[in-house]
Amino acid sequence: MSESLSRQHQVLGEAVTRIISDYTSRLDELPLTSKASPGELAQLFAGPMPQLGISVEEILERFTEDIAPHAMQISSPRYYGQFNPAPLPIGVWADVLCSVLNQNAGAWRNGPTSAHVETQVLKWLCELIGYGPDAFGILASGGSEANLLALKCARDYANQQIPVAGLPAANAKLMVYASEQCHFSVEKSLDILGMGRNSLRKIETDDRFHVRMDELKRAMERDRDEGCTPCCIIGLAGATSTGVIDPLEELAALARENNCWFHADAAYGGGLAFSDKHRSQLRGIELANSVTFDPHKWMFVPFVCGATLVRDGAKVLRDAFDITPEYLSEDRGGADVAYDMFRYGQMGTRRFNALKVWMALKFMGKQGYGEVVERHIALTHYLASRLDELSDFERLGEVETAVCCFRYLPAAVRNLEVERQDRIQQALQQRIEHSGEAFFPSTVLHGRRALRININSFLTEQRHIDDLVELLQREGSRLLEGLSDD
Ligand SMILES: Cc1ncc(COP(=O)(O)O)c(C=O)c1O
């Protein structure tokens, strides 16, 4: 530590820039996955607590030799995994600048500029999804936390005694409704909020995986008859497995009729709002009391960054989360209190995450994002049409965003019992994962195993999709050869 701070940054900056530039120049060739086992990786990082420090060169060498090659290569154009896209360079470097300032974006006095940048970013996101000028929000760690914050607002809206008295004292049996395709964070949030996982009614979906309104209405009536109070309806705008969008306008109307909170989980699908061509798919989102929107999904900012947006503004969040510790007393009465971001969410010390969203939005512009979203959806339709031409694949649902789900069902598999067909989907996914040539997960749709491709990298081109189709056919045939040898 004897070198000056500025010299240390210069040495590290130059070395790290070389690593990043070399790494990103090889993204198209890198295997997506490492063949190392958990035991081998555990061995690689085992060792006693360092007693004496080592040089940055040695540390960076460990990164290039041991860490980067065994990482999941999320930035590859052949990564088709969960909604985890390659980060924009401006976002990566914004993260560095965020760390160097190391603002505590909790209270205004600890991070005055961070508070204003965050406020501005939130206003832009609110405007993007069609909220009015009073709307506000808070950046969260991701979609899971954003859903938790929104459900806390929903719970308190149903019964304002709960935050202080707790659920038993308020004697409230509050129920939440969402499609069976909702993200697991909903169930976790209800547990954390004391409402219990059983307070979630998972509603069946139709053959295109949208929530069934008839089933939803029936479930709400049943609950009312049993003395429970419907508290919140959640609409999915980009479901995790299928990318589809629930009928948001209809859900909003049903919520209004039942005096329920309406939350739209647009963690992924919120990105559609950037595109003039596709934003109408989100019709009704502006009626939601709250919206989850993840900049670390379709906005390509590095992890982690989510947002809870609230239609009726800052007061709703302050009612749910504000508290004033002695050392941040409001008594000083300054205009800064309104910019104390800790008052609008659950975190105390907060990272200046708004910087990467602000820089990414300035760099891409709404139009730039709209173009990528449109290209991703067009590529997904292209993939779907390629699969439709092949008799070995059966597509599931429709392409509404950049997600395409299907099964590998050649003639030899079609007549097998369903459990065997399911195992074949998993086996094909595993083969391709282990090959390192591409990555995508499998999922379960209407109780059956399916393959799920999300085109999420801004580096993915049509030639990658052609390679993917060829890979699916090749590995599928090899898998069948292996089965017939058994
Ligand atoms: C619809 C939806 N909501 C919420 C989440 C949770 O987001 P995160 O992983 O950022 O916590 C996801 C994650 O994929 C999602 O797909």
pLDDT at site 483: 80
Fold of 96-361: Aspartate Aminotransferase; domain 2 (3.40.640)
Contacts of 360 (CB under 8 A, 6+ apart): 88, 90, 91, 94, 295, 299, 300, 301
Q: Which atom of ligand 1 is nearest to the CA of 83?
A: 14
62: CA distance to ligand 1 center in Å? 32
Beta bridge partners of 234: 263
The whole-angstrom separation of Cα 247 and Cα 308 is: 20
Helix (H, G, I), strand (E, B) or coil at 428: helix
Q: Which atom of ligand 1 is nearest to the CA of 306?
A: 10
Q: Which atom of ligand 1 is nearest to the CA of 304?
A: 10
CA-nearest residue for atom 16, ligand 1, is: 240
For the question of whether the overall pTM of this predicted structure is more than 0.95, the answer is yes
Cβ of residue 271 lying under 6 Å from some atom of ligand 1: no
Write the DSSP assignment of 349-395 as a string of letters. S---THHHHHHHHHHHHHHHHHHHHHHHHHHHHHHHHHHHT-TTEEE
pLDDT for 3 beyond 90: no
Cβ of residue 189 lying under 6 Å from some atom of ligand 1: no
pLDDT for 172 beyond 90: no
Q: Which atom of ligand 1 is nearest to the CA of 182?
A: 1
Mean pLDDT of 336-363: 96
Tell me the percentage of the chain whose pLDDT exceeds 70: 98
pLDDT at site 2: 61
Q: What angle do CA 326, 330, 336 make, to 5 degrees?
A: 125
307: CA distance to ligand 1 center in Å? 11
Q: For residue 217, count CB atoms less than 10 angstroms from its CB and return exposed for 0-12, middle for 13-18, buried for 19 or more.
A: middle
Helix (H, G, I), strand (E, B) or coil at 72: coil
Cβ of residue 81 lying under 6 Å from some atom of ligand 1: no
pLDDT tens by residue, 320-346:
999 887 777 666 557 888 999 999 999
Cβ of residue 269 lying under 6 Å from some atom of ligand 1: no
CATH of domain 367-485: 3.90.1150.170
Closest CA to 34 of 74, 62, 61: 74
384: CA distance to ligand 1 center in Å? 24
168: CA distance to ligand 1 center in Å? 30
pLDDT tens by residue, 222-253:
999 999 999 999 999 999 999 999 999 999 99
Cβ of residue 442 lying under 6 Å from some atom of ligand 1: no
pLDDT at site 325: 77
Cβ of residue 270 lying under 6 Å from some atom of ligand 1: no
pLDDT for 1 beyond 80: no
Label residue 443 by pLDDT band (50, 70, 90): very high
Mode of pairing for the β-strands spanning 174-179 and 448-454: unpaired
Pocket test for ligand 1, best of 83, 205, 298 (most atoms within 8 A of CB): 83
pLDDT at site 333: 58
pLDDT tens by residue, 382-432:
999 999 999 999 999 999 999 999 999 999 999 999 999 999 999 999 999
Cβ of residue 294 lying under 6 Å from some atom of ligand 1: yes
Cβ of residue 393 lying under 6 Å from some atom of ligand 1: no
pLDDT tens by residue, 22-64:
999 999 999 999 999 999 999 999 999 999 999 999 999 999 9
pLDDT for 482 beyond 90: no
pLDDT tens by residue, 100-132:
999 999 999 999 999 999 999 999 999 999 999
Residues 366 and 129 sit within 8 Å (Cβ to Cβ): no
pLDDT for 485 beyond 90: no
Cis peptide before 304 (omega within 30 of 0): yes
Could you tell me the CA-to-CA distances from 415 to 268, 420, 429, 442, 484 in Å, in that order?
36, 10, 20, 21, 14
Strands, DSSP E only, in 103-221? Answer: 136-140, 174-179, 200-203
How is the chain split into domains, by residue range?
A: 5-30+34-71, 96-361, 367-485
Cβ of residue 401 lying under 6 Å from some atom of ligand 1: no
Q: Which atom of ligand 1 is nearest to the CA of 294?
A: 10
Cβ of residue 85 lying under 6 Å from some atom of ligand 1: no
Q: Which atom of ligand 1 is nearest to the CA of 239?
A: 1
Cβ of residue 82 lying under 6 Å from some atom of ligand 1: yes
Pocket test for ligand 1, best of 145, 147, 185 (most atoms within 8 A of CB): 185
Cβ of residue 183 lying under 6 Å from some atom of ligand 1: yes
Alpha-helical runs (H) found in 292-339? 314-321
Mode of pairing for the β-strands spanning 174-179 and 200-203: parallel
Pocket test for ligand 1, best of 144, 148, 184, 242 (most atoms within 8 A of CB): 144
Mean pLDDT of the chain: 96
